[in-house]
Chain A
């Protein structure tokens, strides 16, 4: 399985300038155009001036991509739904531990799913699991009877397989101090 999304879900990856307000511009665009966001994750890349977003929508990805490309702070957009890719989502799940039998079951499940127990208390444990959306959903369904007290997911991050990279053409660091709140180093 290269793609953890359901069939009607479309995934886009966008490189954006790493400066304040850019996430707001993207989110505002989605709201205005009435695109429903299924998942949106953002984080830095190897280049401190560039952040990368993975966006999962249940909308025509071409339209979403074209609208995104219009934003001046968006450097590149690629639709990756049908490109072989690795998609990962991280979840922290706090599960009730009501008996030693329950504890045993949890440990066993973690073993099967290659999840980690990152906190263990007398009444609860926190499990960290990474994987595509379906793997996490399966884990959640198996843990549910034991009593999930709290659950948090990061949303999906996606990278295409092979040597293809999403990189801006001729991107260079801006040679001046820039604000809009953001200061880049001078090179």
Chain B
């Protein structure tokens, strides 16, 4: 069958199971957009900016576990994808980006809308292709999807010159195994590695599991719980690890790190064994590396060998798929008890409970943490929450416990403001559910709020909660603590979000009192045909506690003061 390059790409996308792609047309990708008209089985979502397309593909991928696809034209279209690609890279999210390129004879001539996008994205993709020959397209698309979704997942870019999209060749789908001699994602651990780990585990008296994104990526929830129960080992979660094990589990310590629970951090600092499961010791979870878990031996299990010893020296390094490795360990793992250790942790928990904001009876002020807690109550903890980045994100992590994998979608590694709304649209489209809540701050929301139009055009039933404090709250918090309250460039004017929603034809309400939170949530839940928006006007001067200042020792947290009877 003779097909054009553009048609070949679409044929391959169909075989990869792609049902939806997110993109924005332009000159150099027009052959591909024209060919789409012959392939109605793939739905194309027109975003309002290419950044929206890459975040939507990312949100779709994180929610569904499938590869997300973003499409853009050459030059400015391609560069607009960059933030979304970097976000996906940092959080190991499988996306494939297809970009148009100027015709191959013009490459390198500074042609109109030409940019070397493979060069630009080299450090932020798992792999990338510039296709010079239409004969290679089918193989490249297959390889790209394989690379994106296997091993440590990540973004792959395929840059296709316009003439290659137009070139015609005989299409035959390349069956058989993909042969990539330099690409060998590890699976199993060596017997020696397993034995060394078992030796440390059996000797430990104060062990802590650090559960990261790898728990979700490898689907190892059951194995981690079994491990924790049999060895009575508490589990601290990274931000992206949330949902990996149910937070209602008696062994759960909630989130660790900069804004983690005090007791998780204290447990880590006092541990004699850390079991790092699919996490990478990011500086936001370790604090000062010199004083990090000083008495603990470390067992590090990760699919990416380059994460081992990168930040923290592992006593037992194991490179492999977490679920596979845990299934190697579990049969040999005998039951252990750690009564004293768990009792100690319970004491730390009680102290934290006393300081907890949910017990603070505040007068007439609406606190963001209360909003999040009420959202959790109203959704019975069952929503798929997509957050933006900032204070609201950390409050979400603290006050919205997640019970199931892939129910919290958030930009962790890159901390990308503007991620929330487009990622939520991608997630809602992938899951085909009206149970996706986007929680955004007023700052991040304004970065990509043009995607409201996309949500309306696609009738995506995404529920948007803007937590508006009139500030870039997290930056403001740093200015308060570390820059002597010089609030430079953090107070922020916002549009009337309810009117803005109205302009898009989106039903919306503004909430200023705590008693209105749950009724507003119930109202939002009744809107199922397209997006709905709630604006929560919250206390301006609130702080995310506890906080480990950047680079400080993990146990030296700034704690929320124990409340006095007069409130804040």
- In the complex, A22→B541 CA distance in Å? 51
Q: Are B306 and A179 in contact (CB under 8 A)?
A: no
How many interface residues does A have (CB within 8 Å)?
A: 32
Q: Are A63 and B132 in contact (CB under 8 A)?
A: no
Nearest to A174 among chain B residues (CB) is B179
Fill in one digit per residue for A19-33: 1 if any B CB lies within 8 Å of its CB, else 0: 001001100110010
Central interface residue in B131, B132, B174, B306, by most chain A CB within 10 Å: B306
Q: Are B147 and A72 in contact (CB under 8 A)?
A: yes
- Interface hits, A154-187 → B, CB 8 Å: 168, 170-172, 174, 176-181, 183
Q: Are A63 and B309 in contact (CB under 8 A)?
A: yes
- In the complex, A24→B119 CA distance in Å? 9
* Known A-B contacts A177-B135, A177-B136, A179-B133; A70 and B181 likewise in contact (beta carbons under 8 Å): no
- Report if A75 contacts B (CB, 8 A): yes
- Report if A17 contacts B (CB, 8 A): yes
- Interface hits, B130-156 → A, CB 8 Å: 130-133, 135-136, 139, 147
- In the complex, A86→B139 CA distance in Å? 40
Central interface residue in A66, A72, A170, by most chain B CB within 10 Å: A72
Q: Are A66 and B181 in contact (CB under 8 A)?
A: no
Residues of B close to A29: CB separation below 8 A: 123
Q: Are A74 and B182 in contact (CB under 8 A)?
A: yes
- In the complex, A76→B182 CA distance in Å? 7
Minimum C-beta distance from B444 to chain A (A):
26
CB contact between A178 and one of B139, B181, B306 (< 8 Å): that residue:
B139
- Report if A73 contacts B (CB, 8 A): yes
- In the complex, A155→B305 CA distance in Å? 29
Q: Are A69 and B132 in contact (CB under 8 A)?
A: no
* Known A-B contacts A28-B123, A179-B131; A67 and B181 likewise in contact (beta carbons under 8 Å): no
Q: Are B182 and A16 in contact (CB under 8 A)?
A: yes
How many interface residues does B have (CB within 8 Å)?
A: 27
- In the complex, A167→B310 CA distance in Å? 27
Q: Are B127 and A69 in contact (CB under 8 A)?
A: no
Q: Are A67 and B306 in contact (CB under 8 A)?
A: yes
Q: Are B310 and A63 in contact (CB under 8 A)?
A: yes
Nearest to B151 among chain A residues (CB) is A70
Nearest to B156 among chain A residues (CB) is A72
* Known A-B contacts A62-B309, A70-B306, A177-B136; A17 and B130 likewise in contact (beta carbons under 8 Å): no
Fill in one digit per residue for A49-66: 1 if any B CB lies within 8 Å of its CB, else 0: 000000000000011001
Q: Are A70 and B304 in contact (CB under 8 A)?
A: yes
Minimum C-beta distance from B5 to chain A (A):
12
Residues of A close to B482: CB separation below 8 A: none
Q: Are B135 and A21 in contact (CB under 8 A)?
A: no
Central interface residue in B122, B131, B135, B181, by most chain A CB within 10 Å: B181
- Report if A71 contacts B (CB, 8 A): yes
CB contact between B182 and one of A67, A73, A180 (< 8 Å): that residue:
A73
Residues of A close to B119: CB separation below 8 A: 24
- In the complex, A16→B130 CA distance in Å? 18
- In the complex, A180→B126 CA distance in Å? 16
- Report if B118 contacts A (CB, 8 A): yes
- Interface hits, B88-130 → A, CB 8 Å: 118-119, 122-123, 126-127, 129-130
Residues of B close to A171: CB separation below 8 A: 181
CB contact between A72 and one of B135, B180, B306 (< 8 Å): that residue:
B180
Nearest to A22 among chain B residues (CB) is B182
* Known A-B contacts A67-B306, A73-B182; A24 and B122 likewise in contact (beta carbons under 8 Å): yes
Nearest to A25 among chain B residues (CB) is B122
- In the complex, A25→B181 CA distance in Å? 17
* Known A-B contacts A17-B181, A70-B304; A179 and B122 likewise in contact (beta carbons under 8 Å): no
Residues of B close to A73: CB separation below 8 A: 182
Nearest to A70 among chain B residues (CB) is B306
Residues of A close to B174: CB separation below 8 A: 176
Nearest to B179 among chain A residues (CB) is A174
- Interface hits, B212-262 → A, CB 8 Å: none
CB contact between A176 and one of B139, B305, B306, B308 (< 8 Å): that residue:
B139
* Known A-B contacts A72-B127, A177-B135, A179-B136; A168 and B181 likewise in contact (beta carbons under 8 Å): yes
Minimum C-beta distance from B548 to chain A (A):
25
CB contact between B123 and one of A16, A32, A69, A75 (< 8 Å): that residue:
A32
Residues of B close to A21: CB separation below 8 A: 118, 130
Nearest to B139 among chain A residues (CB) is A176
Minimum C-beta distance from B182 to chain A (A):
4
- In the complex, A69→B131 CA distance in Å? 23
Q: Are B179 and A69 in contact (CB under 8 A)?
A: no
Residues of B close to A174: CB separation below 8 A: 179
Residues of B close to A170: CB separation below 8 A: 181
Nearest to B176 among chain A residues (CB) is A175
Q: Are A177 and B304 in contact (CB under 8 A)?
A: no
Residues of A close to B180: CB separation below 8 A: 72
* Known A-B contacts A71-B182, A72-B180; A180 and B139 likewise in contact (beta carbons under 8 Å): no
- In the complex, A99→B139 CA distance in Å? 65
- In the complex, A17→B5 CA distance in Å? 25
- In the complex, A21→B127 CA distance in Å? 12
CB contact between A75 and one of B126, B130, B181, B304 (< 8 Å): that residue:
B181
Q: Are A72 and B183 in contact (CB under 8 A)?
A: yes
- The 26 sampled A-B contact pairs (Cβ below 8 Å) are A17-B181, A21-B130, A24-B119, A24-B122, A28-B122, A29-B123, A62-B309, A63-B306, A69-B306, A70-B306, A72-B126, A72-B183, A73-B182, A75-B182, A168-B181, A172-B179, A176-B135, A176-B139, A177-B135, A178-B136, A178-B139, A179-B133, A179-B135, A179-B136, A180-B130, A180-B132
Chain B interface residues toward A at CB < 8 A: 118-119, 122-123, 126-127, 129-133, 135-136, 139, 147, 174, 179-183, 304-306, 308-310
- Besides A72-B126, A72-B147, A176-B136, 18 more A-B contacts (Cβ < 8 Å) are A16-B182, A17-B181, A21-B118, A28-B122, A29-B123, A69-B305, A70-B306, A71-B182, A74-B182, A75-B182, A168-B181, A171-B181, A172-B181, A176-B135, A176-B139, A177-B136, A178-B139, A179-B135
